Amino acid sequence: MPASKIRAEAVLMPDLIIRGGTLVTMDPGRRVLQDAEIAVEDGIITSVGKSGDYNKSKASEVMDAKGKLILPGLIDTHVHLAQALIRGTADDLSLVDWLQHRIWPLQGSYTESDGLLSAQLCVLEMLKSGTTTFLESGLHRRYGNEAIAAMVEKSGIRGILSKMIMDSGGYGGRSGIMHPGMVEDKDACISEAVDLFKRWNGRSRGRIGVWLAARSLGGVSPSLYREIGRLAGELGTGITMHLNEVPEDSRFSMTNYGMRPVHFAKSVGLLDQRTVFAHMVWATDEEISILGTARSNVAHCPASNSKLASGTARVPELIASGVNVGLGCDGAPCNNTYDMFREMRLVPLFQRKRLMTHGAIDPYTVLEMATMGGARALGLQDKVGSIEVGKRADIVILGCERPAYTPSIDPVSTVVYTATGNDVDTVIADGLTVVKDHKVLTLNEEKILTDARHTIPKILERAGIGGVSDLLRN
């Protein structure tokens, strides 16, 4: 980055003090501070303590957080930027039919401006609901990824963009079912991934990252999986991949490779790299043990797994075996929000129902999944995930005016069981205020929402999905 640009950014960084409120630090001491104070200089947290600790004359801005809840910015470890625009278009299908008959035809009919608009809508929703870092699950060339990366940079959010890599248009044993608009050539995928990495990885003081996204089983040959692993190692970057999401994954793996999905992933080298496996619903005890030994990362997506009728991931068992578990909202058509607070709430509800014990998982562990768990998965644990001196200032402030916040006995329990993204009133990302009084300052919300409403009927038309377009016209 040229020196002039670094200076320009530094000038934009206000010195900031956040004063008052209840601070859930998520630091190793699990500190929760009442009447707290946080000082931020040049995007870095320089002081965390009690109100009045810091020399106020140093701050150009003092933010009053009295009566509010302060948290680290949330980290979504499984996001499809391109799916925000097709929210509500595939509400009642299970995974493979959902992909084949709705998601792929719709995304395969996108123009570059549709891809950018969807990404804008997604980032807008994430920022407004307190997500300050995300891992994208797999970008297609047709989305216009250069413009998406520039938008992510401008929005102020911290994002890892992953380019999808494939050499087949199938899912599991159902070969050739992918919409032609979504099928990409292997060499073109790799060259775009490397180009994106060279241009964008590490930009904006490390706020933008670029990883590789391996398509699911049936979409990538074993030799290409090995190549993806080698390339990630050479670039020093990460990989993300959907795995063990539905029983079709293990059926395909057993039939074609004579082993279960995690054994296969290990055999092609994916456990040797920083890989975030999304879902992992159907992992057996042995697979969980292999993932634990490898200290692998799993993105748990409870809303998506339930809405698509995929099953319930064995989260307490994964954590007990040593797997690092983060949380993911997945995509709008399988959720239908990118609200990490709503996602957190589902984790203890589903796990306690599944195991029929309140001891299945506690709220602190759930909030840890959405903060430090996500940071560890992305290799950002020294930068974000908690409010500690020396870390980047990614901070969320929740208003607590709703009746549902009264009384609030335990702030962590309140965050997990009560809060929604609509309660977020302020978001600071990398030291800059990007949401204030519920308004995103870095994106044009009104224009994005208007454009989205006008654009979706055209996409449905191009994709030839009559049922939903008829609904929209009525």
The contact set with Zn ion (CB under 5 A) reads: 137, 330
Tokens 């030799």, residue located:
223
Chain Cα centroid distance, residue 370? 9
Rounded distance, CA 287 to CA 206, Å?
Answer: 34
Q: Minimum distance between the CB of residue 369 and Zn ion, rounded to whole angstroms?
A: 17
Q: Minimum distance between the CB of residue 73 and Zn ion, rounded to whole angstroms?
A: 21
131: exposed, middle or buried (Cβ count in 10 Å: 0-12, 13-18, 19+): buried
Q: Minimum distance between the CB of residue 80 and Zn ion, rounded to whole angstroms?
A: 6
Which of residues 22 and 240 has its CB atom nearest to Zn ion in the complex? 240
DSSP character for 73?
Answer: P
Which of residues 330 and 451 has its CB atom nearest to Zn ion in the complex? 330
Which of residues 192 and 330 has its CB atom nearest to Zn ion in the complex? 330
Q: Minimum distance between the CB of residue 108 and Zn ion, rounded to whole angstroms?
A: 16
Which of residues 249 and 430 has its CB atom nearest to Zn ion in the complex? 249
Provide the token pair at 301: 């997506």
Q: Minimum distance between the CB of residue 287 and Zn ion, rounded to whole angstroms?
A: 19
Which of residues 137 and 418 has its CB atom nearest to Zn ion in the complex? 137
Which of residues 9 and 97 has its CB atom nearest to Zn ion in the complex? 97
Between the CA of residue 162 and those of 159, 198, 265, 296, what are the distances in Å? 10, 13, 18, 18
**61-64/208-214 β-pairing:** unpaired
Provide the token pair at 376: 């560890």
Rounded distance, CA 356 to CA 365, Å?
Answer: 18
Rounded distance, CA 6 to CA 204, Å?
Answer: 8
CB-based contact 128:436 (threshold 8 Å)? no
CB-based contact 395:73 (threshold 8 Å)? yes
**Closest to 206 (Cα-Cα) out of 38, 75, 52, 383:** 383
Rounded distance, CA 143 to CA 158, Å?
Answer: 19
Q: Minimum distance between the CB of residue 420 and Zn ion, rounded to whole angstroms?
A: 22
Which of residues 37 and 330 has its CB atom nearest to Zn ion in the complex? 330
Q: Minimum distance between the CB of residue 198 and Zn ion, rounded to whole angstroms?
A: 26
Which of residues 331 and 399 has its CB atom nearest to Zn ion in the complex? 331
Q: Minimum distance between the CB of residue 213 and Zn ion, rounded to whole angstroms?
A: 10
Tokens 């299945």, residue located:
360
Rounded distance, CA 141 to CA 127, Å?
Answer: 25
Q: Minimum distance between the CB of residue 82 and Zn ion, rounded to whole angstroms?
A: 11
Between the CA of residue 380 and those of 40, 78, 194, 376, what are the distances in Å? 19, 15, 21, 6
Q: Minimum distance between the CB of residue 265 and Zn ion, rounded to whole angstroms?
A: 16
**Closest to 210 (Cα-Cα) out of 182, 240, 243:** 240
Which of residues 136 and 192 has its CB atom nearest to Zn ion in the complex? 136
CB-based contact 331:126 (threshold 8 Å)? no
Helix (H) or strand (E) holding 397: strand 395-398
Which of residues 38 and 95 has its CB atom nearest to Zn ion in the complex? 95
